[in-house]
Amino acid sequence: MTYVVTENCIMCKYTDCVEVCPVDCFYEGENTLVIHPDECIDCGVCEPECPADAIRPDTEPDMEKWVEFNRKYSEQWPVITRKKDPMPGYAEMDGKPGKLDAYFSEAPGEGD
Ligand code: SF4
Ligand code: F3S
């Protein structure tokens, strides 16, 4: 199994998760992060660190789409291991529905 980043990270990107990952398997896009499913060792320590509750285990229902999403972009984006400021307007965006269709950017983030 693996953990994955899901929709509510988009436009929030708190980055609390990256500091606790023992294998540095978070990758940064312009407005969200992803986890590389083949690098994640399923330790679970990142899940409670996310203020947006965006990190889920792939054992939950309907996670296949998110595993493929995380795999695809982790192979294109730079690694991120250090916490940075969340996105501008993160508080208003936290919990907003439809963020994947409305806001997701395929552009890479800056990484570390
Ligand atoms: Fe990293 Fe563990 Fe989270 Fe996987 S579950 S991304 S290994 S902190
Ligand atoms: Fe995103 Fe949560 Fe990490 S909002 S950047 S998965 S702490």
> What domains can be seen in the chain, in order of their start residue?
3-81 (3.30.70.20)
Instruction: Write the CB contacts of 23 (distance below 8 Å, at least 6 apart in sequence).
Output: 39, 40, 41
Rounded to whole angstroms, the Cα distance separating 48 from 108 reads 25
Q: pLDDT digit string (tens) for 47-56?
A: 999 999 999 9
Q: Is the C-beta atom of 18 inside 6 A of ligand 1?
A: no
Quick one: average pLDDT of 26-40? 98
Q: How far is the CA of 92 from the centre of ligand 1 (A)?
A: 27
Atom 2 in ligand 1: residue holding the nearest Cα: 43
Quick one: average pLDDT of 11-27? 98
pLDDT of residue 67: 98
% of residues, the chain, pLDDT over 70: 100
pLDDT of residue 42: 98
> What predicted TM-score, i.e. pTM, was given to this entire model?
0.98
Q: pLDDT digit string (tens) for 73-82?
A: 999 999 999 9
Closest ligand 2 atom to Cα of 8 = 4
